[in-house]
Structure 1
Amino acid sequence: MKKSLLTLALVAGFSLSAGAHQVWLEREGSVAKAYYGHWSHDFMEKRSGKRLGEIKGKEVLPQGALQKSEPLEDGIELKLGKVKDIALIEALDPRKGKMVETIIRTTFLARHGRSETKALMELDLVPQSAEGNTFMLLFRDKPLARTKVTIYAPHKWSKSLMSDDEGKVTIQTPWKGMYLMEASYMDEAKGVVNGKEYEKSNYVMTLVFVNESGIAWVEPAK
C-alpha cells in the first residue's frame, strides 16, 4: 500500500517541496489560526523571535468576520463570526529586496476555503465551482495568464502548474487532508505608504482547504 501511494505521488507529478516564507490560515469552526513560516516544512515563526511580530492579524475579510484576535507563541488566533471563506491581509513596510537595491513592498495574502466563487483578496485563486478543483488566478479581478501556481499536498509534497491563457488552473487532489496552494505576483507600479517610497509591490498569496475524501496518506517505510 505504501509503495502504491508513493507511485501515485510520482505519477501525479508531486515532488518534495521547498519555498520562501508564507502566511497561511488553518481553521476549525469559528476559530482560525494564522501562521508565518514554511507550511511544507511544518515551520512556524515564534513569538520569542523577531519575524512573527510583522504579522498583526488585524485585516480579515469579509468585513465584520473578525470578532477578536489573540497572539499565540507560534501565530495568531482569530475568533470569527458566522462566515464561509475568510482571508487575511498582511502588508509589510517597504524594504530593500534580498541581493538587490530595489525597494519592495511585500503583501502576504492568505485565504481559507474554496466554497465561495468570488475573490476575497487583490491576488486570489477563485474556485470556479464550490469545492471544485479548477481555479481562476486573479489580480485585482483580472486574470493572470501563464503564471506559476504551486500546490502542496497533505504529505507536504508539491507540484507547480501554469495558469492557462484565461488564468485558469486545474489541480489534482487524490489524498484526503489539508492542501495549500500558492501564487505570487510582482506589480511594477511605484508608490508611497506611511511616508516610505517603494518601487515595486510583491504579492504572495496562499489558499488552504481541506479535502474531505480521498486516499488516506500513510508515511512510506524508511
Structure 2
Amino acid sequence: MNKPTPARLAAAALMIASAALALPAHAHYLWLEQGAKTSRLYFGEYEERLHERSPGRLDEMPAPEIRAVDRSGKLSGLDAVRGTDGFTFPMPQGSSGIVAEETGYAVKDWTRYGIGVVKPMFYARLLTGPAPVAPVLPLDIVPTGKASEFRVVFRGAPLAGVEVRIVAPNTWSREERTGQDGTVRVSYPWRGQYILQVVHKESVEGVFGNQRFEAVRHRMTATLSVRNGAATSVPAQWEASKMD
C-alpha cells in the first residue's frame, strides 16, 4: 500500500473540516455536564465532540436561563458565565438537578431539511440520581423512579410514540420510542456520561423577532452519569443501530 503524501493528508484534513462546517444547524442542541465544583452548558453535538465557540455559533444562544431544581420542582436561578466554548455555573449542593432553557433563539428556515420555518426552543436537564422528579420544562425527560426508566412529558402530559436518541459515553447511539404512557427504558453498556435527546414539533404559528414561523420545534436533552459496570465490547443491538 502506498503511503499517503502530505498533499493527500492535507486534502483529507480539509474534507473533514468542511464536513464539520456543513453540519446542519437543526442537529445542534444544548446539553449539561456536571463538574466537581462548577458545571457547564454546551451548544453543539456531543456525539461529534463538537462544542460551539464564542465568537462564533455559541453566540446564537443569546441568554440561556440555568436553574437548580429540587424534588418538588421548585426552581432557583443560577449565575452563569459565558466562556469561549460554553457557559459555566456553580454546582449547588442538595439539588435534584439542573435545568436550562433557551427561548431567544432566532426563527430558522429549515425547509430544505424537511422541517419548515420554525421557532427553535432548546431545553436541557442534568440528572443527579434515579429518583423521580417533577417535570418543569415545556418538553422534559424525567426519571420515573423505576430502574433505567424515563418519561417524556410535553406541557405536563406524557408524550407517546416519540423517538428518544440515546448517546453513550463513546458517542455510539441508538433510538427507542416511548410507549403510550410516555416511558422508555434505557440500557447502559458502558460506564460514563449518557445523553438522551428528544425533538418534538408543535404545530403553532406565530411571530418572533418580526419573523413569522409555522411551527415551534422543541429540542430537549437529559444528561446522566453511570458509575457501575462497563462492557468492553459493543453489544449486538447497539452495533446494529450505530449512526455514522
TM-score by length of 2: 0.74
Q: Distance in 2 between matches of 1:185 and 1:114?
A: 25
**Do residues 182 (structure 1) and 197 (structure 2) align?**
yes
Stretches of structure 2 that go unaligned for 5 or more consecutive residues are: 1-22, 70-74, 235-244
3-state secondary structure, aligned to 2:204:
coil
- What are the Cα deviations for residues 111-157 of structure 1, in whole angstroms up to 9, with x where unaligned? 11153421131111110117x41011110111111110010111110
- Aligned counterpart in structure 2 of residue 55 of structure 1, from 46, 49, 61: 61
Q: Distance in 2 between matches of 1:137 and 1:147?
A: 8
Q: Is the 8 A contact 2:148 2:187 kept in 1?
A: yes
Partner of 1:25: 32
Between the two proteins, what is the percent identity of the paired residues? Answer: 25
- What are the Cα deviations for residues 167-193 of structure 1, in whole angstroms up to 9, with x where unaligned? 110010132110011010000012233
* Shift in alpha-carbon separation, 1:70–1:111, aligned structure 2, 3 A: same
Structure having the higher Rg: 2
Q: Is the 8 A contact 2:169 2:192 kept in 1?
A: yes
Q: Distance in 2 between matches of 1:44 and 1:217?
A: 27
Aligned length: 199
**Do residues 76 (structure 1) and 91 (structure 2) align?**
no
Q: Distance in 2 between matches of 1:194 and 1:94?
A: 8
Partner of 1:206: 221
3-state secondary structure, aligned to 1:129:
coil
**Do residues 88 (structure 1) and 100 (structure 2) align?**
yes
* Farther-moved stretch of structure 1 (114-123 vs 172-181): 114-123
Q: Is the 8 A contact 1:65 1:80 kept in 2?
A: no
Q: Is the 8 A contact 1:65 1:81 kept in 2?
A: no
Equivalent AA in structure 1 for residue 134 of structure 2: K
Which 4+ residue blocks in structure 1 deviate beyond 6 angstroms?
none
Q: Is the 8 A contact 2:119 2:208 kept in 1?
A: no
Q: Is the 8 A contact 2:35 2:91 kept in 1?
A: no
Q: CA deviation at 1:159?
A: 0.8
More helix by share: 2
Q: CA deviation at 1:93?
A: 2.0
- What are the Cα deviations for residues 52-90 of structure 1, in whole angstroms up to 9, with x where unaligned? 102245412343240x22121111112243322111111
Aligned-pair Cα RMSD in Å: 2.4
Q: CA deviation at 1:206?
A: 0.7
Equivalent AA in structure 1 for residue 107 of structure 2: P
Q: Is the 8 A contact 1:155 1:217 kept in 2?
A: no
Q: CA deviation at 1:204?
A: 0.8
* Shift in alpha-carbon separation, 1:217–1:90, aligned structure 2, 3 A: farther
Q: Distance in 2 between matches of 1:203 and 1:164?
A: 19
Partner of 2:121: 107
More strand by share: 1
